[in-house]
Structure 1
Amino acid sequence: MTLVGYFEVCLAVLWFLCHRGFWNYNELVVNWPLFGMLPTLLFNVGRIHDCCTEVSRKTKDGTFRFIGPWFVNMEMLPTVNPANVHHIMSANFQNFPKGPKFRDIFDVLGDGVFNSDGESWKSQRKSTHKLINHPRFHWFMVKTIHEKVERGLIPVLEIVCKNSQVIDLQDLFQRLTFDTTCILVTGYDPGCLSIEFPDVTFSKAMDDAEEAIFMRNGCQKSYGHFKGKWGSAQHKN
């Protein structure tokens, strides 16, 4: 009798979840019971940027509400609306402090402008603006990009076309961006944009860090909260 009861309960829950998913199929992201929109995030973990782009295109103003699992109280308001970004990042930045939690998540960025708040952020932002708005920096940036495209990107594309070689354009332009950024910031050209497509240790380390941050503060944290609450419930029982 107990077995039949468990089977009926499981069947009812399964039907409810399937019905819920079908009913909300036309929503931007399906909001499942208990787990919220996290399953969609997990299913698209290998193409997370494409998934976010697809969702933002379906919104009216590039903003939508992301609801996470109920047991972690996760809610976010992602936006790609230029007006919203300007309001948050420039016009009223003091009203949107990142806080210590943000710095804990992105500790790999140190105490730079991306992690700072208040006077520290103002000071670093002011220094950065002075640098990037200086005429000599503009001249150096144009010169660097022009030389890198002429001596790096174009020769690689010519050889690729000549050999009918298939390449990843995203990887190609990431290498171009990485080389030019290193030259502008440090004065050193790592030379990762070449026909050999060499492995770049630092670039790979940053990619691994981004993936680790996402998994640690999204998926694993949700699992940890769920495990903790489930363990507490079992302990009480």
Structure 2
Amino acid sequence: MLFFYHIPSFFLLLLPLLPIFFLIKASTPKKQSSLAPSTAISLPRSYPIIGSFLAAVANRKRQLQWISDILQVSPSATFVLNYSIGTQQVFTANPAVVQHILKTHFPNYGKGDYVTGTLKDFVGHSIFNVDGESWKFQRQLASHEFNTKSLRKFIEIVVDAEISDRLIPFLSSAAATGTVVDFQDILQRFSFDNICQIAFGFDPAYLLPSLPQTKFAQAFEESVQISSDRFKEVIPAIWKIKKLLNIGSEKRMRIAISVVREFAKNIIRKKKQELKEKASLDSVDLLSRFLCTGHSDENFVTDMVISFILAGRDTTSSALTWYLWLLSKNPNVESEVLKEIKAKSEALVYEEVKDMVYTHASLCESMRLYPPVSQNGKEAVNDDVLPDGTVVKKGMTVSYLPYAMGRLETLWGSDWAEFKPERWLEKEEAENKQWRFVGRDAYTYPVFHAGPRICLGKEMAFLQMKRVLAGLLRRFKVVPAVEEGVEPEFVPQLTSKMKGGFPVRIVERDA
């Protein structure tokens, strides 16, 4: 999702002029391949008083690609977009700038009022939406829980059960009948069941053969969608007015969030009662762990759990959706991944999954091109100067784009558009010459964020994705059910989606 911040309210006066936007040079260009380098890119014009507001509105339906194109031709891969006099936003794909805001000058760059205000209704004051002491406290608490072996083992058990009891039987049935299924939806259901069990100790049973529509899951999806749409408003005052009047999407948002939070609170109350009645803790879900540390405030725990569901549900399903599409278009990569999977035992244990080096590299390569979170923004607490000389004033937002960074020739070479896992690998010097994974620093590849706020669930995400792929690809081939040459559209929301879903046919592999 692309954030456009701080558009002045007086631009509401320009709304009657919208028809002329189709006559100006900044109008939306024809759609190009999401992997093909853009041509004839130029920096947007900035006019007196209104800056580049016209270009921003004209490109509102392709904001991410527009800014990414601009960063490709910006000398330092950093660009300052002028909305009007005194209203600016910095966009960057420069690793040195990313390191500056996420690590070196970390205290000077926070979430900011715009982001926290936009997400507050949904995630409240959780770890993903606060700064300062509140963030430090929640980070320490979450970090302790994420580093326990018992939680890791619990995640393995939950994921494996969901694979064997639900995912594999569902795919077997789809293969037998030749049914076209939306694999993006299947992966979201799979991830939703997993994260609800890990976070709540509650199984929503969302991935059943009937593909049920549950009230909680639907409300959660609507909350995510409308929260994403808030960020896409070129004039934020519009959604705020709708919220004030309780109309349209904001009325639906209020209802959806009410359903999500009430559902979560009911589970929290039941869990508290369970823990009171037990002499010792035998539950290892995150909710039980938080409650047993003495943090029983209902709103605090609700905010934390909703945030973990958001992070765990959409990021892995997004990554796997795009991965399977890329794999279907690159049979040579699929062959290497399959060879590695088959080299492992039928019952994969943690160490074996961890050593799936080629599969790990291919996942990193997929997320380079299609990151689950395409952009992140930080607001300057005080005036600053970025490493490339860009001046940042207090209150300005500096946004970095993993999506754009994965497409920079200066970072990935002239073959950046190729899906090439080998760019993450090198042959060992030993006689058997096996592949060895060679990672990139987190500021060149900030797919899992970087610095003090780097993703706590990174290793567990890789563990889950590899276990899914091992169970899936050993038995099935995923074949896109679209016309030859048709490429899916990357939709940048809170976490990225494939527009219209990912229709596929499931084919049983030969034994």
TM-score above 0.5, yes or no: yes
Select 1:208's aligned residue among 204, 222, 245.
222
C-alpha displacement of 1:168: 1.0
Question: For residues 49-94 of structure 1, what are the alpha-carbon distances to aligned partners after superposition, in whole Å with 9 as ceiling and x for unaligned?
Answer: xx559948x8499x6647475489362526596x876765566542
Which structure has the highest strand share of the two?
2
Question: For residues 128-163 of structure 1, what are the alpha-carbon distances to aligned partners after superposition, in whole Å with 9 as ceiling and x for unaligned?
Answer: 111111010111111111111111111111111111
Select 1:105's aligned residue among 118, 124, 132.
118
CA contact (8 A) 2:42 2:73 kept: no
Which has the bigger relative contact order, CA under 8 A and spacing at least 6?
A: 2
Match of 1:41 in 2: 60
Amino acid at match of 1:198: P
Mapped pair 1:94 → 2:113: no
Output the TM-score relative to the length of structure 1. 0.67
Select 1:126's aligned residue among 125, 128, 140.
140
Counterpart Cα distance in 2 of 1:183 and 1:159: 25
C-alpha displacement of 1:171: 0.9
- Mapping 1:1-237, distance limit 5 Å: 17-18=24-25, 26-27=40-41, 34-42=53-61, 44=62, 55=68, 59=72, 65=79, 67=81, 69-70=83-84, 73=87, 75-77=89-91, 88-89=101-102, 93-107=106-120, 108-219=122-233, 221=235, 224=238
Counterpart Cα distance in 2 of 1:155 and 1:103: 42
Counterpart Cα distance in 2 of 1:223 and 1:134: 44
CA contact (8 A) 2:111 2:129 kept: yes
Q: 1:157/1:124 Cα in 2 relative to 1: closer, same or farther (>3 Å)?
A: same
Amino acid at match of 2:24: L
Counterpart Cα distance in 1 of 2:189 and 2:166: 10
Amino acid at match of 1:97: G
Q: 1:79/1:190 Cα in 2 relative to 1: closer, same or farther (>3 Å)?
A: farther
Question: For residues 183-233 of structure 1, what are the alpha-carbon distances to aligned partners after superposition, in whole Å with 9 as ceiling and x for unaligned?
Answer: 001001101112211113333323322332333343262675xxxxxxxxx
Counterpart Cα distance in 2 of 1:36 and 1:134: 49
Counterpart Cα distance in 2 of 1:209 and 1:190: 18
Equivalent residues, number: 204
Amino acid at match of 1:166: V
Amino acid at match of 1:37: A
Q: 1:71/1:196 Cα in 2 relative to 1: closer, same or farther (>3 Å)?
A: farther
How high is the sequence identity, in percent, across the aligned residues?
Answer: 21
Q: Which runs of 5+ in 1 are unaligned?
A: 1-12, 225-237
C-alpha displacement of 1:169: 1.0
Counterpart Cα distance in 1 of 2:66 and 2:217: 23
Deviates more, 1:63-72 or 1:165-174: 63-72
What is the DSSP-based 3-state SS (H/G/I as helix, E as strand, rest coil) of the residue aligned with 1:209? helix
Deviates more, 1:64-73 or 1:139-148: 64-73
Q: CA RMSD in A?
A: 4.0
What is the DSSP-based 3-state SS (H/G/I as helix, E as strand, rest coil) of the residue aligned with 2:174? helix
Q: 1:76/1:215 Cα in 2 relative to 1: closer, same or farther (>3 Å)?
A: farther
Deviates more, 1:143-152 or 1:86-95: 86-95
Q: 1:38/1:209 Cα in 2 relative to 1: closer, same or farther (>3 Å)?
A: farther
